[in-house]
Amino acid sequence: MTEDINDVRSSWDSKANDWKKQVGDQGDWNRRLNSDPVLFEMLGRVRHRSILDNGCGTGYLSNKLDHLGAEVTGVDLSPEMIRIAQQEYPELDFRVEDCTKLGTIEDGEMDIVVSNYVLMDTPQLQEAVNAMFRVLRPKGIAVVIFSHPCFPQTDCKVHPNGSISYDWKHSYYEPSRQHDAPWKHFKSDFIWYHRPLEEYWRAFRSAGFRVDDFQEPHITPDNYHLAPNMTVLETYKERPISVAFKLVRPNR
């Protein structure tokens, strides 16, 4: 596992500059059009709330939350991601932290934890969920978004007749460590951890969370006009890319 975490850290360190290109200040199109609207709906009011952006990458979401008046702390395993986040948003509090430990965050310190496309990238799911639970105050909420485990995007094919197929190379039910070839402007493989959806659900319940909401974020008609072109619009109307859970730490 230590080896896995070290691999994960160096893999993201090597991608940090390219990640900044991917998400910029506003998030990439998937975030902007599909998952951020669901994330903000699940978060509700954020003004004056203490929020942990857990696995913040280069910090676009921390910055958005700060603009909405939240008191944000951004943490990430990758020192290189944190270096860029600090350079981009010097007024914000960013720290190098492993989300399975969150050693600089006190028990019950946070009103809200956000985990935006992180859990499929970390080998220790239960430890990461337990740490989120620990740092939340009673009645605090966690909004957790990760890549949809049922629809692997890099193995998706769109056929000339318009039909879509997913080329499964691994068992759905068997957890496994995966490598994806670099996509777009990235130069190195992506390491990620496949798990069936039920394993996430079990980890949330076993940490003590109540599952309050579940959505499969996709573009809604009021946002169709924001899509940069028809291909993106059709893709986002048809293909599930992520899942979003709203979790509550019960008041006891």
Ligand X SMILES: C[S@@+](CC[C@H](N)C(=O)[O-])C[C@H]1O[C@@H](n2cnc3c(N)ncnc32)[C@H](O)[C@@H]1O
Residue from 20, 30, 57, 209 in contact with ligand X (CB under 6 A): 57
List 23, 112, 141, 207, residue binding ligand X (CB under 6 A): 23
Which of 81, 125, 233, 241 is in the footprint of ligand X by CB under 6 A? 81
- Measured from the CB atom, the residue of 14 and 223 that comes closer to ligand X is 14
What value, to the nearest 5°, has the Cα angle with vertex 114 and ends 249 and 208? 25
Side by side, the strands of the sheet bearing 71-76 are: 93-96, 71-76, 50-54, 110-116, 136-147, 242-248, 210-215
By C-beta, is 73 or 100 nearer to ligand X?
100
* Residue with tokens 């998937």, as numbered in its chain: 30
Interacting positions 156-195 with ligand X (CB under 6 A): none
Structure tokens at 56: 């913040």
Residues 6+ apart with CB under 8 A from 153: 147, 239, 241
Q: Does 55 bind ligand X (CB under 6 A)?
A: yes
Q: Single out the segment in contact with ligand X by CB under 6 A; choices: 117-125, 136-144, 181-189, 197-205.
A: 117-125
CA distance 219 to 237: 6
Reference 118, options 180, 56, 60, 74; nearest CA is 56
Nearer to ligand X, 161 or 185 (CB): 185
Place of tokens 């952006």: 53
The single-letter DSSP state of residue 16 is H
As measured in angstroms, the least distance from the Cβ of 83 to ligand X is: 12
Stretch that binds ligand X, among 63-71, 75-83, 151-159, 228-236 (CB under 6 A): 75-83
* Residue 205 CA: distances (Å) to CA of 119, 200, 249: 15, 9, 10
122 interacts with ligand X by CB under 6 A: yes
Binder among 50, 63, 73, 116 for ligand X (CB under 6 A): 116
73 binds ligand X (CB under 6 A): no
Using Cβ positions, the residue closest to ligand X within the complex turns out to be 57
Residue 127: which residues within 8 A CB-CB, separation 6 or more?
A: 100, 101
Closest to ligand X by CB, 63 or 235: 63
Task: Out of 50, 73, 94, 98, point to the residue binding ligand X (CB under 6 A).
Answer: 98
Based on the shown chain and the rule CB under 6 A, indicate whether residue 34 belongs to the binding site for ligand X: no
Query: Interface with ligand X by CB under 6 A: which residues?
Result: 8, 12, 23, 55-57, 60, 76-78, 81, 98-100, 116-118, 121-122
